[in-house]
Amino acid sequence: MRRAGRVAVSRLHQGAALAPARVGARGVRTQRGRVLQKALGQHLLVNRDSLRGIIDAAELLPTDHVLEVGPGTGNLTVLLLERAAAVTAVELDSDLHALLEDRVRRIGLSERLHAIRGDFLKTPLPRADALVANVPYQISSPLVRRLFSLDPETAPSRSVLLLQKEFADRMVAQPGTSAYSRLSVTCSLFADVRMALHVPPSHFRPPPKVESAVVVVRPKPLPEAFEDVDFHEFESMLRDCFTGKNKTLRSLFLRRSFAARCLFREQAPVTPAQASVRRATSTGRSGLDPADIERMRERLAAVLDAAGVAQQRPNAMPLEAFLQLYGAARDMGLRWTEAPAYASRRPEAEPTAELAAEPAQDQGTGAQGAGGNA
């Protein structure tokens, strides 16, 4: 019976995955006439080789419970049900959610699928052995942040993410490469990340305007040096460093404008709106005593010397060097944030726009947009 069921699943998948999408005045239609919403980032993965590549990258066991984000109409879901014991699929789009449930019901696997209509970023997550996602590109950063907010003891042991290639490149980038960024540092802190496969635009309907790639993310314990680190402050420090990632830290941190900003941080906690006004205030109009600014520059120089990173450039610094910088600053009472620290070693599950902001390089259903697998 199990063998016959798998044959039925495979045949349905082959017919659905390769069915051409139709382009009309309102946009791209699925084979069942459903108009995809480009505004939600709905690009359905329809290529059989890429779908199989994602399944292989997940290294699924017959006993695994899989959490899928952005299942679309279910091409990838059907393959997951072939390999795993159960699938929980989170889909934001109500029409695609209904199509997914109907498709799985028709092949007799409804009892192994739990389809949730909701936003992955806000939905309480069940325990799962693996997570698989065709990520709506515009939510790449918050989705990755939510993964990193989970305790490694309860998080999926591996997450297979289909992302915009530029974002994926930054996740796996090593120090000294052009793609190395604060995202690269954050990923190296929380997980082991590897590139699994490249997915060209022609493998989607409609084709996106960018290349895509699949990464495998495996959470890992935080290093001992991070035991006393507040992630909010650490991320703020990374943001400061990567404002000029090709410059030495000495040239970045000893600017008078940077020293003035550090003085602002030492004042009483402020609201985000007040912090924005302060950042926009030039040193000349800040009302700060020039002597205080010079003393702050001396403190910054001492922090860099204590960490041994004054002549290093952020684009070539490994995680360990950033941890040394953070530790030296903390020991000398230097703050990296304008608001009270959160005293948390992991990102917020639902970050503010400021904290989630990345350069505008993400594409990105399951949340505030819809990827989907067919």
3-state secondary structure the chain: CHHHHHHHHHHHHHHHHCCCCEEECCEEECCCCCECCHHHCCCEECCHHHHHHHHHHHCCCCCCEEEEECCCCCHHHHHHHHHCCEEEEEECCHHHHHHHHHHHHHCCCHHHEEEEECCCCCCCCCCCCEEEEECCHHHHHHHHHHHHHCCCCCCCCEEEEEEEHHHHHHHHCCCCCCCCCHHHHHHHHHEEEEEEEEECHHHEECCCCCCEEEEEEEECCCCHHHCCCCHHHHHHHHHHHHHHCCCCHHHHHCCHHHHHHHHHHCCCCCCHHHHHHHHHCCHHHCCCCHHHHHHHHHHHHHHHHHHCCCCCCHHHCCHHHHHHHHHHHHHCCCCCCCCCCCCCCCCCCCCCHHHHCCCCCCCCCCCCCCCCCC
Extents of the domains making up the chain = 2-222, 226-344
Q: Characterise 72 by phi-psi region: left (phi > 0), alpha (psi -120 to 50), beta (else).
A: left
Tell me what percent of the residues of the chain surpass a pLDDT of 90: 61
pLDDT given at position 270: 53
pLDDT band with cut points at 50, 70 and 90 for residue 225? confident
Q: Per the annotation, does 119 bind a ligand? A: yes
Q: Per the annotation, does 43 bind a ligand? A: yes
Per-residue tokens: 158: 């591996």
Q: Per the annotation, does 150 bind a ligand? A: no
212-219/158-164 β-pairing: antiparallel
Q: Is the pLDDT score of 340 beyond 60?
A: no
pLDDT, tens digit, for every residue of 230-240? 888 999 999 99
pLDDT, tens digit, for every residue of 122-132? 988 899 999 99
pLDDT band with cut points at 50, 70 and 90 for residue 360? very low
More confident residue, 310 or 154: 310
Q: Is the pLDDT score of 169 beyond 90?
A: yes
Q: Is the pLDDT score of 287 beyond 60?
A: yes
Q: Per the annotation, does 72 bind a ligand? A: no
CATH number of the structural domain 226-344: 1.10.8.480
Model confidence, pTM: 0.80
Q: Per the annotation, does 192 bind a ligand? A: no
B/e letters for 124-139, b = 16+ CB within 10 Å, e = fewer, are: ebeebbbbbbbbbbbb
- CATH class of domain segment(s) 2-222: alpha beta
pLDDT, tens digit, for every residue of 57-110? 999 999 999 999 999 989 999 999 999 999 999 999 999 999 999 999 999 999
Q: Per the annotation, does 354 bind a ligand? A: no
pLDDT, tens digit, for every residue of 260-270? 989 888 765 55
